Amino acid sequence: MKDANQHGFPRRYIDTLESAFDQLRQRETDDPLYDIFRAAAVKEFELVLEQSGNLLKRRLRPFSPATGGRTG
């Protein structure tokens, strides 16, 4: 079974981030939707960053001396 976090969620977050950013660029700063899309873009960026960090930690764990992995 595929790990959903590894294959599905990061791509979905990136797609949502791109969509929110595209919508944001189409708005004037005084448009109420500008704030909504800006908030969505920031939130999705944070999720992408968080998930990327989690995946990186997971992939590096076997090489960590603390977990008995290889050191070099």
pTM, rounded to two decimals: 0.68
Domain boundaries, the chain: 4-57
Q: Give the pLDDT confidence of 6-60 residue by residue, as tens digits.
A: 556 678 888 989 999 999 999 999 999 999 999 999 999 998 899 889 989 999 9
Using alpha carbons only, give the angle 8, 14, 18 rounded to the nearest 5 degrees: 145
| Per-residue confidence (pLDDT) for residue 1, from 0 to 100 | 32
- Non-local CB neighbours of 16 within 8 Å, separated by 6+ positions: 40, 44
* DSSP state, residue 27: S
